């Protein structure tokens, strides 16, 4: 399955925080947030998260010592959502959607 993704931040090789939006075929834009959390040793995925605006998405609590970059975000989202190919586009800002 091919899907669209938009990163709110300029991605580096190791990030503390990543946020953006994604859109699966024939679905509305959703939000993804990856944030470091010193209370976890492995990534903890919150799927079907719903923000105050009603927009849904994925929230991932990320271990602070683990590397976090675009490649890792794409791989984890692909595994979770069944996406085989991402098209990087300029989508809506996640802060606006939330």
* 27 contacts: CB under 8 Å, gap ≥ 6: none
Question: pLDDT band at 43, cuts 50/70/90?
Answer: very high
Domain-embedded: residue 95: no
Q: Count the Cβ atoms, other than its own, within 10 Å of residue 21.
A: 24
Number of domains in the chain: 1
Per-residue pLDDT, 77: 97
Mean local confidence (pLDDT), 13-26: 96
Give residue 37's domain range: 2-85
Among 42, 81, 33, CA closest to 62:
42
Per-residue pLDDT, 44: 95
Locus of tokens 């509305």: 28
Domain-embedded: residue 93: no
Per-residue pLDDT, 81: 96
Mapping DSSP to helix (H, G, I), strand (E, B) and coil, where does residue 39 land? Answer: coil
Domain-embedded: residue 90: no
Mean local confidence (pLDDT), 5-19: 95
Per-residue pLDDT, 48: 85
Domain-embedded: residue 94: no
Domain-embedded: residue 59: yes
Domain-embedded: residue 81: yes
């Amino acid at each position: 399955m091919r899907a669209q993704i938009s990163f709110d931040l300029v991605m580096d090789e190791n990030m503390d925080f990543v946020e953006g939006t994604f859109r699966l075929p024939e679905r509305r834009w959703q939000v993804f947030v990856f944030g470091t959390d010193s209370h976890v040793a492995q990534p903890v995925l919150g799927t079907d998260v719903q923000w105050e605006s009603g927009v849904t998405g994925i929230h991932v609590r990320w271990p602070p010592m683990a590397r976090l970059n675009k490649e890792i975000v794409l791989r984890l989202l692909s595994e979770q959502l069944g996406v085989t190919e991402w098209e990087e586009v300029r989508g809506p800002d996640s802060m606006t959607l939330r």
